[in-house]
Amino acid sequence: MNQPGLNSAPNNAMTVDVEDYFQVSAFEDIIARDQWDALPLRVENNTYRILELFEQKKIKATFFTLGWVAERCPGLIKDIVAQGHELANHGYSHQRATQMSQNDFREDIAKAKTILEDLSGVHIKGYRAPSYSIDKTNPWAHDEILETGHSYSSSIVPIHHDLYGIPDAPRFMYRCENGLLEIPITTVRVFDKNLPCGGGGYFRMLPYWVFRWGLRRVNKVDQQSAIFYFHPWEIDPDQPRQTNIDIKTQVRHYLNLGKNQRKITTLLDDFNWDRVDRVFLDAA
């Protein structure tokens, strides 16, 4: 897990949100959930590509996985665990928590947790809300995550964004009032403003050196471990293209898909990486 020359740097947590291209929140108004089973399933093959890359780099990571995907790819779930990675909960239907009632939210994450545990035979400790959709409008969400048997959440991004974010949330790991551990996606502080530095579309769209600088600053100046994420569809430039979407959505979803695996490979070489539970739960 340690890379040459970086043994004194902290381990960071590498995470993958296991969902398919047609399940992203940006497409929720144009691809109905009852159409999902009729669409080409690409998440399984793309996730195996990620597992192969992690094996080459001797990296262990955390896979936040949809219950819907797990039901259709049970062998993938077993292989994630068999290869030494952490399996975690991403909910069942990839519906944003801000669009669900408290009861529906509880049922969704409990259903996914049961599916993942039954298939894998391991206890699921972590949860990540689809599209980081825990904010100040649904403070009950952390209570439901804890009460359904999870030890930690990684569902908040402390930035301004049109779809998610709590700008004044703590930048680094903290305890919620109920005792649940929340691990926010990594940001870097520049001129009294939090800037994204934890992956996703920002990683695809911005030059690699920006993220390398930001993560090094978090490790060396803040002396904190970072948490990074990406999706299997973000290394799949051949995925079916949606044509009835606006320009902003097209840019967010498709820009630099063909370059992203190479950038991720460089990232794996430049920093130390491990599973969320080993990086953060042991420290907590």
pTM, 2 dp: 0.95
Please check whether residue 264 lies inside any domain of the structure: yes
The CA distance from 131 to 134, in Å, is 9
Q: What percent of the chain has pLDDT over 70?
A: 96
pLDDT digits (tens, 9 = 90+) for 196-228: 999 999 999 999 999 999 999 999 999 999 999
Q: Is residue 261 part of a domain?
A: yes
Q: Is residue 1 part of a domain?
A: no
pLDDT the model gives residue 284: 81
Is residue 167 one of the residues assigned to a domain? yes
* Structural domain count of the chain: 1
Give a yes or no: residue 5 inside a domain. no
Q: How do residues 18-63 score in pLDDT, each as one tens digit?
A: 999 999 999 999 999 999 999 999 999 999 999 999 999 999 999 9
- Give pLDDT tens digits for 83-104: 999 999 999 999 999 999 999 9
Residue 8 has a pLDDT of 53
Residue 2 lies in a domain: no
CATH number at residue 141: 3.20.20.370
Asked whether residue 53 is domain-assigned, the answer is yes
Q: Quick one: average pLDDT of 157-185?
A: 91
Beta bridge partners of 17: 64
Residue 3 lies in a domain: no
The parent domain of residue 249 ranges over 12-281
